[in-house]
Structure 1
Amino acid sequence: MLTNKKIGFIGGGAMAEALMRGMLNAGLVVPSQLTVSDLTAKRLDYLHSTFGVSTTTDSQEIAKQSDILFLTVKPQVIGSVIDTIAPVVGKTTVLVSVAAGVTIATFQGKMPGVPIIRVMPNTPVAVGEGMSAMALGKYATSAVSEPVAQVFASVGQVVTVSEEAMDAVTGLSGSGPAYAFVLIDALTDAGVRVGFSRQTAVLLAAQTLLGAAKMVLETGQHPAQLRDMVTSPGGTAITGVHVLEQNGVRAALIDAVVAATNRSREMGRR
């Protein structure tokens, strides 16, 4: 579905790099289809030498020529980017924003009739294991959104949600890698405490969480069912789970997601 489509990126940071790498590795596009703009010449040189993509410092030129235009810039500068490209974006261009907290209405107000898709990806897109949620604007039909979903599927999993759910997405999967890193760090410290080197403890902790997550995704079983497979009567695992429950780990994770969701809502009202 991306054959012969011109795809542009305004902002050449880590997210743009991850998406370009994913598309190219998956064979969805060839380098000649991709153009990226950035304010930093060194960054553009890197992207050109790494992927063979075209580069420019002219965001209006990219906006004019792109069939799909990704806005991969920080939320702090999205306003000026919108003002710059709004006069030249055609109604056949699909505009995709990954700027957290910036609503579809913000774009639609400046670019009426343009298909807008808002996406919240998380940082593991950098290693091809991201989780992305898409919210579709009024003019973003399934025919318009499917190629965009393909792009994000090349760097992990993707779901479509209502825009009202985007703050909850931010609280769960958007912020979720931070929770996972805390867990890995804590398990690593525990491994050191019981006698492992830190290098070995990190490997044991990280691979264990990776394997557990993969079992959930690939078996389709409820996490509680998989937990029951590990927790034999009177054994070590159920003893450890008991301690986690005594210390409120489950409640703390729920509270963390709720707090992050509420914070996302607060930031969106600014």
Structure 2
Amino acid sequence: MTLKIYSFGGGQMVEAMLRAALKKKVITPETTGVTDISSDRVNYLTDTYHIQASQQPDWTAVENADLVILGVRPQDNWQEIMKELVAHHYQKDVLSIIAGVTVAQLSSQEDLFAITRIIPNTLTDVAMGYSGVVKNNRANQTVIEDFLNSFGKVDYIDESLLDVFTGYGVAGPNYIYNFLISFTNAGVLAGMPRQQANKLALENLRAAAAFVEQSGKHPAELLDINNSAGGVGITAQHELDKSTFSAGIENAVLAAVKRTKELGKQNKGD
């Protein structure tokens, strides 16, 4: 199924989603429209992806769209966009990536809309990672998932968990990147060439994740298997247990969640 998409806003997150969907042929340049206030942005999107971009909305394209994306900033007048959608009798799916604006707020503009709110993942270019999704009962799950699955996986969550999802799930790759840097540096410190250390770190990460998923075992069980008495593994484990490794990760996640909530309050003007 090829979807007709129209986005209000053509920022980096919208671009990343559209780029992935175009790559998977879920959408086509001819049936993908974007409006953005920046002429530079419009020219860039048109030249790069050959989509139908303009500074003013193409309401014919909007009316024919299977899915309208709200990709504007929280401080922009998204309420006016919703009113215009009503005026143009749009009654299909609306997908919002506006930070801090709830499904209830979007729905309250007019009780017509199939509303889905998402927190997109940051791994769209490799079509992996979960996007956090909240929807009302009018949302067309098939349309939404056809689009979202083009750049990752869908995780339906309670809206009250979106801040946690952002600080933990969306920021998750950052924690992994930091681990990879530290693990690679440890190999270099021990005497291994950096390129080889990085290669081994990546393969260990991929293989360990696959083993946890395929075996169904808790990671602690796998540690017990690897850590023989008086051996290399248990010696390394002893040093990790003495360090702030676990607490550092936990504190980073809690700080990220806290900051997400702070930004949400700022966006709402609290």
TM-score in terms of structure 2 length = 0.83
**Which residue in the other structure is 1:106 paired with?**
105
In 1, Cα distance between the equivalents of 2:16 and 2:193? 32
The CA RMSD over aligned residues, in Å, is 2.6
Instruction: In structure 2, give the amino acid aligned to 1:94.
Output: D
Deviations 1:14-49 (A, max 9, x none): 322322232233332333221122233343334334
Is 2:226 aligned against 1:241?
no
Deviations 1:123-182 (A, max 9, x none): 112322232110113533xxx123212222222221111111111211210121221122
Q: What secondary structure sits across from 2:191 in the alignment? A: coil
> Which range moves more in the overlay, 61-70 or 86-95?
61-70
Which structure 1 segments of 5+ residues have no match? none
In 1, Cα distance between the equivalents of 2:95 and 2:158? 15
Deviation (angstroms), 1:82: 0.7
* Larger Rg over CA atoms: 2
Is 2:169 aligned against 1:169?
no
Instruction: In structure 2, give the amino acid aligned to 1:8.
Output: Y
- Note closer, same or farther for the CA distance 1:210–1:8 as it changes in structure 2 (3 Å cut): farther
- Note closer, same or farther for the CA distance 1:264–1:66 as it changes in structure 2 (3 Å cut): same
Is 2:84 aligned against 1:88?
yes
**Which residue in the other structure is 1:78 paired with?**
74
Deviation (angstroms), 1:251: 3.0
Deviations 1:47-103 (A, max 9, x none): 334433211112463644432112234xxx334241331222145231111233322
Instruction: In structure 1, give the amino acid aligned to 2:54.
Output: T
Is 2:250 aligned against 1:251?
no
Which structure 2 segments of 5+ residues have no match? none
Q: What secondary structure sits across from 2:74 in the alignment? A: helix
- Note closer, same or farther for the CA distance 1:136–1:49 as it changes in structure 2 (3 Å cut): same
Query: Aligned pairs, how many?
Result: 262
> Which range moves more in the overlay, 196-205 or 28-37?
196-205
TM-score in terms of structure 1 length = 0.83
Is 2:183 aligned against 1:183?
no
Percent identity over the alignment? Answer: 31
**Maintained 8 Å contact 2:5/2:27:** no
**Which residue in the other structure is 2:138 paired with?**
139
**Maintained 8 Å contact 2:21/2:27:** yes
Q: What secondary structure sits across from 2:83 in the alignment? A: coil
